[in-house]
Amino acid sequence: MPRVTIIVTNAPPRVIDVLPRATLLRAAVRARMPIGRSCRGVAVCAACRIFIIEGCDAVEPMDELEARLAARSPLAERERFACRARITGDVTVTTSYW
């Protein structure tokens, strides 16, 4: 079972186990972390940006919806939209507002 470690400023990391192919958005919600999701995870709002610190190889490549959203709202290196990024192994993530 993949493990997601969420790095939070001025707090201990949160660690949560998720099912294979769960999204990073699902992991953040299960860990009770605030995360932008005004579109409710359908790859429209671009609010759920998340930075992958470790484990980029444990996240599936962008699908068509995420690629279209990234074309409209470009991502930095190692950044993904949490609603579309599916986990296949252990990852460590953060955002600018945690």
User: Can you tell me the distance from the alpha carbon of 98 to that of 95, in angstroms, rounded to the nearest whole number?
Assistant: 6
- Determine phi and psi for 29, rounding to 5 degrees: -65, -45
Lowest-pLDDT range of 3-12, 41-50, 68-77, 88-97:
41-50
The pTM score is 0.91
User: Can you tell me the distance from the alpha carbon of 18 to that of 74, in angstroms, rounded to the nearest whole number?
Assistant: 27
User: What confidence score (pLDDT) does residue 83 get?
Assistant: 94
Residues of the domain holding 69: 3-94
Does 84 score more than 90 pLDDT? yes
pLDDT per residue over 40-81, tens digit each?
Answer: 777 888 989 999 999 999 999 999 999 999 999 999 999 999
User: What confidence score (pLDDT) does residue 43 get?
Assistant: 84
- Determine phi and psi for 3, rounding to 5 degrees: -120, 130
Does 98 score more than 80 pLDDT? no
User: What confidence score (pLDDT) does residue 48 get?
Assistant: 92
> CATH number, domain at 66?
3.10.20.30
Considering only CA atoms, which of 15, 25, 20, 34 is closest in space to residue 83?
A: 25
Q: How confident is the model at residue 21 (pLDDT cuts 50, 70, 90)?
A: very high
> Are the C-beta atoms of residues 31 and 16 closer than 8 Å to each other?
yes
Average the pLDDT over 81-88 and give the result: 95
Number of domains, the chain: 1
